[in-house]
Chain A
Amino acid sequence: MKQKLLWLVSILCVITLVTGCWDDRPVEERGLVLMLGISPSPHHGVTLYFEVPTSSGLTSLTSGGSSSSGGPKFVIYRGHGATFSDAFTDAQGQTNEDLYLGQTQVIALSTRLPPATFAVIDATLARLGPMDKSADAVAVTGSMAKFMAFSPAGTSLPGLYLASLFACHHCQTAQLARTVWSREKRLWSPTASVWVPKISAHGSTFNVDRIVVYQGYRPVLVLTRRQTWDVGCLLGITVKAPLTVSTSYGTISLRAVRASPHFKTKPAPDGKILIHVTVHLSATLDSVPPNLLITTPILHEIEARADTLLSHRLLSILVTLQKAGSNPLGFGRRYVWVRQDFSAWPTLYRHATLAVTAHIHIHQLGDLQ
């Protein structure tokens, strides 16, 4: 009996001691932040934007999205402050709900954030307990206020829309989703650079077909759509990428290009390092000139032309990235780990010799004979 009593008391003590775990607050009392926008404010401060669904927005989801009840579906709380915490407190003061970051789906980072401010914010985000590290990180080049206020047609909650977009692997030309976790991981890597998709409001919808590459915390390049597709090939994340090849038979277009890259980094005889990227691609023949009968030799010629074209384009974007000092592909990771010489890598990368070999294989002819 005495032992049982002791056991019971011990259990009660344990429960009491772990009261720090008590976080019982019903979900309806929480303001679920679906999208968090971070942009600079004057005097090296920061402005945070919190997209929180309203009761109207929530009930419209419950009724299958068919509710036509009036009122905004979400509200944006904006907080200013010298630090992340100041801005958060400022925003919290504007609502009677507990701003909850555990369900944040998208974190929008302004490209205008000074590297120093970005670094501080990033450290804060890494330490936020309830912060959902699986949220998607996006870059916004324009006004963050306008971006946060934008609601694409056919949807009530932009944060949810973007989360669905990034979660769907077949809904984009390339899988551009970058989670907060993977971004943080790259920031701490001595070789790899951060890249995140650039997002902008275009007409009545979002436009997500470009990426922003960083050097450390500083954005260095906003790639064009074609450059983004090329980087996608090098990263192996293309899904629906197109490719147009000019041949002696006319213009041939390929679609559904998927890439499988791998690279080697090794010292060259001239003291530099050689980075050789080999990309194996597969594609579907999309359109050919009329009356062109596709035969095996013709197919091989098309593939050879595509190989040449792709090799040049991929090498071009690699050189561009090299000049910008950004290394989104993560070259040299094994090289520096083997040699344990992390500090020399930026110099080595800047002077590295780059080479690209592309091999494309057209494995489907569509409906063509």
Chain B
Amino acid sequence: MDNFDSHSPFLCLLIMTEALVPSVSQSAEYLYFRMTGACRKFHIVLDKSGHSTIYRATIGVAFEEGTSIRLFGKKRENSHGPLGQAVFPMEHLRHVQNDLDAPRADAADPLRELISQSQNLDMHLTGLLLDLEQVKDLDQFTGDVTAAYNRIKTTVGQAPDIILRKLEIGTNLKWPALIAFADGMVDNVIVDQDTLRMVELYNTIGADETDPEVVHDRVQYAMLTVGHVTTENRWDRLMDQLTYGSTLLFVQGASSVLVLDSVKFKSRAIARPDSEPSVKGPQEAFNEIMLTHMNQLRRRIRTARLRFEPITIGAYTKTTVILAHIEGLSNPALVTALTGRLHAIQRDSVVQINEIAPYLYGRRYTIFPQVRLTERVDWVARDLMSGKIAVMVDNDPFVITVPTTLTDFYQTTQDYVFSFWDGSLVRLVRLAGLIVGLFLMPLYIALTSVNPDLVPTKLLLTVDGSRQGIPFPPVSEVIIMWLIIEILREAANRLPKELAVTLGTVGAVVVGTAIVKAGIVDDIMIVTVTLTALGLFTTPTFEMTTPWRWLFWTFILGAYLLGVYGIMLASVLVITHLASLEEFGVPYLTPFGPLRRREVTDSWIRFPIPSFIKRPASLRPVDIGQAKRMDPSDTVPIYQGQKDTLE
């Protein structure tokens, strides 16, 4: 590998041209450039009519930050001549295109593509060259609108949603300018009326103005009626702003670019939390817009101590991740630890929140979820107020709250909107559902196959009677029925709601009845499997159902091999594992392991809300008391705008 240093990108084109010349193809096989880490490669295969020669070249452009250009390529020992002997590349390409167009137009598509790409490259390099001549820095806007146009057009501007428009500032002045924005991600009112209309029709600036900085300032402070305007001159940041929905206004000769906050996503309306329904209480879910997340939380927690700490993750996606917490309430060590873990994430992309969730906890291979995902705004607000920290990811309506314990997965908003009798009852029902769902089928296997002496005689005779003529042992019946349940469940998930009801009917009535009549499984097994499925369905959070669906088979295996003893053995293993889990210093089995009596009052049972006078000590909040009287002078008015939004 030989390296070439040059101060002119034009040299790159010459080298590329060499690669297209037959005699040079032996001397330079691969030539490529690197531009700020992003390498572009072109595999050029020329199959000229009448010639069987195939030319290959891999070219690229690479500019490191700064002014110097670094070229490097591979050539052989018998390299041919000086690099500058080749003809101008575009001319050569045009010759090639003419040759191909005439005899064999049908075979020239790859070549046309090559030519198109090369033309873009030519335009791009021309723009770069102009910038380089101006400021000796390829990553900075030089003030040349044409160069900026070329640069955007040949990069991100190739996409149809990037709109570039040259304009003139002022009716008298007619100062060249360029506006760039991403169609569909901007507010058209801001672009059309607050920017274009104001800039083009502005007539109070004299025609004799020659200082571009003055023009730039007049545009920023006098012409534009956009609320949030900043300036920027680094190309990488400008490109990020452009693709994120900001409008860029380039003024000829100015040293910086005006960045107009015109972001307006096409967002989903705020909907009901379908995955966490509640009969009463708040019915608001997050959507995919981070700004909306923050607004929704601010509406609920009107304190200046509510902090949103942004972190950008994803080399390509540059996804915004927000760490929400309440300063002076949540544990600072927890915030620091979580921030450190988020900063340590190295990924190309983050498109959903679950991609960062495994980075937040240490035991990544445990089957139990370590963080709870929720789409309920009120639940996140409640968690924040209890001293937890919320992690929000742009473009995902679900929010993570940490630290999380096992009992957190069995609590819902509905537990708090009714009386504590109701809240405690439904939680105990969920616990009973979990126990039934986990142990009913294993017990059925253990008691009918391994330990029938433990069953009351009449019940055993009833079971025995129902099993007369069944060709499969109980464990096979369980496998058959569980497969049917899982298939029905997955099918119901994939179908529209209307069809899912039909599917449920088909599954429950047709399959259930038919399979008993066919003598494949006994009717008690139908009762057992139905209760098992219903028991596991009582788990209010979806992520907690998966571990139990897996561990269910551990209990089945234990029951099949060792009967009731096997079930107990499997239970001990699971409880041991649960007891070993701990994240951010909070044991997973809190408040039962270790026992924290005060927190038991809001676990599998719920005491009246006035009895919750302290926050969970397991979270180690800075401010543990939560029974404070509000300062009467600290009231917050209800704004008319809020009413409008709510309507």
Q: Which residues from B are CB-within-8-Å of A28?
A: 464, 467-468, 470
- Chain B proximity of A25: nearest CB distance (Å): 6
* Closest Cβ neighbor of A29 among chain B residues: B473
A27/B449 contact (C-beta < 8 A), A61-B462, A105-B457 known: yes
Q: Which residues from A are CB-within-8-Å of B470?
A: 28
Asked if A163 and B462 sit within 8 Å, CB to CB, the answer is no
Asked if B468 and A59 sit within 8 Å, CB to CB, the answer is yes
- Pick the contact of B565: A21, A24, A26, A105 (CB < 8 A): A21
Binary B-proximity of A146-161 (CB < 8 A = 1, otherwise 0):
0000000000010010
Asked if B453 and A27 sit within 8 Å, CB to CB, the answer is no
Q: Which residues from B are CB-within-8-Å of A26?
A: 448-449, 467, 473-474
Asked if B452 and A30 sit within 8 Å, CB to CB, the answer is yes
Asked if A24 and B449 sit within 8 Å, CB to CB, the answer is yes
Alpha-carbon distance between A45 and B563 when the two chains are bound, in angstroms: 37
- The reply to whether the CB of B562 lies closer than 8 angstroms to some CB of chain A is yes
Q: Which residues from A are CB-within-8-Å of B452?
A: 27, 30, 32, 100, 102-103
Q: Which residues from B are CB-within-8-Å of A241?
A: none
Alpha-carbon distance between A23 and B446 when the two chains are bound, in angstroms: 10
- Pick the contact of B457: A22, A24, A130, A160 (CB < 8 A): A160
Asked if A24 and B467 sit within 8 Å, CB to CB, the answer is no
Asked if B464 and A32 sit within 8 Å, CB to CB, the answer is yes
Alpha-carbon distance between A216 and B465 when the two chains are bound, in angstroms: 41
Q: Which residues from B are CB-within-8-Å of A53?
A: 461, 464
- Pick the contact of A61: B465, B469, B562 (CB < 8 A): B465
Alpha-carbon distance between A67 and B393 when the two chains are bound, in angstroms: 65
Asked if B561 and A24 sit within 8 Å, CB to CB, the answer is yes
Alpha-carbon distance between A163 and B457 when the two chains are bound, in angstroms: 9
* Closest Cβ neighbor of B467 among chain A residues: A28
- The reply to whether the CB of B466 lies closer than 8 angstroms to some CB of chain A is yes
Alpha-carbon distance between A53 and B562 when the two chains are bound, in angstroms: 27
Alpha-carbon distance between A157 and B561 when the two chains are bound, in angstroms: 32
- The reply to whether the CB of B286 lies closer than 8 angstroms to some CB of chain A is no
- The reply to whether the CB of A55 lies closer than 8 angstroms to some CB of chain B is yes
- Chain B proximity of A9: nearest CB distance (Å): 15
Alpha-carbon distance between A256 and B415 when the two chains are bound, in angstroms: 53
- The reply to whether the CB of A62 lies closer than 8 angstroms to some CB of chain B is yes
Q: Which residues from A are CB-within-8-Å of B466?
A: 62
A23/B563 contact (C-beta < 8 A), A160-B457, A160-B458 known: yes
- The reply to whether the CB of A58 lies closer than 8 angstroms to some CB of chain B is yes
Asked if B465 and A59 sit within 8 Å, CB to CB, the answer is yes
- The reply to whether the CB of B30 lies closer than 8 angstroms to some CB of chain A is no
Which of B463, B560, B565 gathers the greatest number of chain A CB atoms within 10 Å? B463
Alpha-carbon distance between A157 and B464 when the two chains are bound, in angstroms: 14
Alpha-carbon distance between A157 and B563 when the two chains are bound, in angstroms: 28
- The reply to whether the CB of A90 lies closer than 8 angstroms to some CB of chain B is no
- Chain A proximity of B447: nearest CB distance (Å): 8
Asked if B464 and A132 sit within 8 Å, CB to CB, the answer is no
Alpha-carbon distance between A21 and B562 when the two chains are bound, in angstroms: 6
- The reply to whether the CB of A279 lies closer than 8 angstroms to some CB of chain B is no
- The reply to whether the CB of A34 lies closer than 8 angstroms to some CB of chain B is yes
A-B contact count (CB 8 A): 79
- The reply to whether the CB of A18 lies closer than 8 angstroms to some CB of chain B is yes
Asked if B563 and A21 sit within 8 Å, CB to CB, the answer is yes
- Chain B proximity of A307: nearest CB distance (Å): 43
- Chain B proximity of A56: nearest CB distance (Å): 9
Interface of B is mostly: helix
Binary B-proximity of A58-101 (CB < 8 A = 1, otherwise 0):
11111000000000000000000000000000000000000010
**Chain B: how many interface residues by the 8 Å CB criterion?**
28
- The reply to whether the CB of B450 lies closer than 8 angstroms to some CB of chain A is yes
Alpha-carbon distance between A22 and B464 when the two chains are bound, in angstroms: 20
- The reply to whether the CB of A294 lies closer than 8 angstroms to some CB of chain B is no
- The reply to whether the CB of A123 lies closer than 8 angstroms to some CB of chain B is no
Alpha-carbon distance between A130 and B452 when the two chains are bound, in angstroms: 10
Asked if A102 and B473 sit within 8 Å, CB to CB, the answer is no
- The reply to whether the CB of A15 lies closer than 8 angstroms to some CB of chain B is yes
- The reply to whether the CB of B115 lies closer than 8 angstroms to some CB of chain A is no
Asked if B565 and A58 sit within 8 Å, CB to CB, the answer is no
Alpha-carbon distance between A30 and B452 when the two chains are bound, in angstroms: 10
Q: Which residues from A are CB-within-8-Å of B561?
A: 15, 22, 24
A32/B453 contact (C-beta < 8 A), A15-B561, A26-B467, A59-B468 known: no
Alpha-carbon distance between A25 and B473 when the two chains are bound, in angstroms: 8
Asked if A103 and B467 sit within 8 Å, CB to CB, the answer is no
- The reply to whether the CB of B460 lies closer than 8 angstroms to some CB of chain A is yes
- Chain B proximity of A183: nearest CB distance (Å): 19
Q: Which residues from B are CB-within-8-Å of A132?
A: 453
Alpha-carbon distance between A160 and B466 when the two chains are bound, in angstroms: 18
Q: Which residues from A are CB-within-8-Å of B449?
A: 24-27
Alpha-carbon distance between A160 and B449 when the two chains are bound, in angstroms: 21
Binary A-proximity of B474-496 (CB < 8 A = 1, otherwise 0):
11000000000000000000000
Q: Which residues from B are CB-within-8-Å of A30?
A: 452
Alpha-carbon distance between A21 and B467 when the two chains are bound, in angstroms: 24
Which of B448, B451, B452, B463 gathers the greatest number of chain A CB atoms within 10 Å? B452
Alpha-carbon distance between A354 and B363 when the two chains are bound, in angstroms: 77
- Chain A proximity of B448: nearest CB distance (Å): 5
Alpha-carbon distance between A27 and B561 when the two chains are bound, in angstroms: 15
Q: Which residues from B are CB-within-8-Å of A22?
A: 450, 561-562
Q: Which 5 residue pairs of A and B lie closest in terms of their CB atoms, listed nearest first?
A: A102-B453, A62-B465, A58-B465, A28-B467, A27-B448
**Extra contacts besides A26-B467, A32-B452 (4): CB < 8 Å:** A21-B562, A32-B464, A103-B452, A132-B453
13 A/B residue pairs, CB under 8 Å, sorted by A: A18-B562, A22-B450, A22-B562, A23-B451, A23-B563, A25-B450, A27-B449, A27-B463, A61-B465, A62-B462, A62-B466, A100-B452, A157-B461
Binding site for A on B (CB under 8 A): 448-453, 455, 457-458, 460-470, 473-475, 560-563, 565
